[in-house]
């Protein structure tokens, strides 16, 4: 990464394995190219960036997200009216289910998973509701050399049926979601376990346990064992960062080298977020 100083923004690393707060930017206003270029550079360097005290309407959030690339459409949740790329992530006070409540990377079951996810805090509980992030560059680099050799050419198998199928995780959702009864349960896509980031050239560990149906050419039992090993290794505390949300916080993370986990520890209170995903490329 470049050692060039930031001139248009103020970047404050979290001190953890990833994450930095960006200050000195009002995202409700158009950004000049130099400011955006610095924000983009900070994102690639720190994997997760967040901005406090923003006041954003859905159109403003979408405008900022488009600077990073073409926006994706998430087919399983009704979007915010008039804004097809912005979906509400809501947990009501009486709800038990929370969206994203397991370590994962977004939409790994698609041919071209999103490169980035942008989440804006509209309403948060008085305590709890944090999001955990894990650095998959660090996870890959910390693997023993023999394990890296084993995984170098391995491919993981993903399917949306694990979460969005008739009996999938999201079938328990407390608010209306498309359970996609017509979802083809046989649909599978394969991606490399050792993924090369297209912008940085760095290798990252790429898997997403809730979306996975094993590994190509590996038995189901061996696949479960390997998923368990990778999960434990990737989410060790030294490779994670915990974001405490505040009203008006906007966060962007890099799905190509980050996993995340929304904590479900605020029962009896409401949490409302607006999510946008940014189209990516086929993992290689």
- The continuous run of DSSP H or E covering 263 comes out as none
Pick left, alpha or beta for residue 32 (phi over 0 → left; psi -120 to 50 → alpha; otherwise beta): beta
Q: Please indicate whether residue 275 is annotated as part of the active site.
A: yes
Catalytic, out of 46, 155, 164, 260: 260
Catalytic, out of 46, 72, 106, 203: 106
**Tokens read off for 87:** 């979906």
Q: Please indicate whether residue 104 is annotated as part of the active site.
A: yes
Q: Which of 125, 132, 115 is nearest to 247 (CA)?
A: 125
**Tokens read off for 162:** 């694990």
- What is the rounded distance in angstroms from the CA atom of residue 228 to the CA atom of residue 209? 8
- Burial group, residue 116, by CB count within 10 angstroms (0-12, 13-18, 19+): buried
Q: Which of 180, 173, 162, 157 is nearest to 74 (CA)?
A: 180
The four Cα atoms 105, 115, 97, 228 give a dihedral, to 10 degrees, of 0
Catalytic, out of 155, 203, 239, 275: 275
Report the relative pairing of strands 87-91 and 155-158 from DSSP bridges.
Answer: unpaired
Catalytic, out of 104, 155, 191, 203: 104
Report the relative pairing of strands 194-196 and 203-205 from DSSP bridges.
Answer: antiparallel
- What is the rounded distance in angstroms from the CA atom of residue 186 to the CA atom of residue 159? 8
- What is the rounded distance in angstroms from the CA atom of residue 98 to the CA atom of residue 264? 6
The neighbour count for residue 34, using CB atoms within 10 Å, is 11
Angstrom distances, CA of residue 1 to CA of 40, 41, 117, 120, 164: 12, 8, 22, 27, 38
Cα angle 161, 162, 168; round to 5: 90
> Which residues are tagged catalytic?
104, 106, 260, 275
């Amino acid at each position: 990464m470049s050692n060039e100083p930031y001139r248009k923004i103020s970047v404050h690393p979290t001190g953890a394995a990833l994450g930095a707060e960006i200050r000195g930017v009002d995202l409700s206003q158009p950004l000049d190219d130099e400011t955006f270029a610095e924000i983009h550079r900070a994102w690639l360097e720190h994997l997760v960036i967040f901005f406090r005290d923003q006041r954003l309407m859905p159109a403003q959030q979408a405008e900022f997200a488009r600077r990073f690339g073409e926006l994706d459409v998430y087919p399983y949740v009704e979007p915010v009216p008039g804004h097809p790329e912005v979906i509400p992530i809501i947990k009501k006070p009486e709800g038990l289910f929370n969206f994203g409540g397991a370590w994962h990377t977004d939409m790994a079951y698609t041919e071209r998973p999103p490169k980035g996810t942008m989440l804006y805090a509209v309403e948060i509980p008085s305590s709890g509701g944090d999001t955990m992030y894990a650095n998959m560059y660090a996870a890959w680099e910390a693997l023993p050399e023999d394990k890296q050799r084993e995984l170098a050419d391995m491919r993981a198998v993903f399917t949306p049926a694990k979460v969005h199928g008739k009996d999938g995780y999201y079938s328990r959702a407390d608010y209306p979601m498309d359970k996609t009864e017509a979802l083809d349960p046989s649909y599978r896509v394969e991606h490399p376990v050792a993924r090369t980031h297209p912008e940085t050239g760095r290798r990252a560990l790429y898997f997403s346990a809730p979306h996975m149906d094993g590994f190509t050419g590996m038995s189901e039992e061996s696949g479960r064992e390997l998923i368990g090993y990778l999960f434990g290794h990737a989410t060790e505390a030294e490779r994670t960062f915990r974001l405490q949300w505040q009203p008006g916080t906007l966060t962007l993370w890099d799905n190509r080298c980050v996993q995340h986990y929304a904590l479900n520890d605020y029962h009896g209170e409401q949490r409302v977020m607006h999510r946008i995903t940014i189209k990516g490329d086929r993992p290689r």
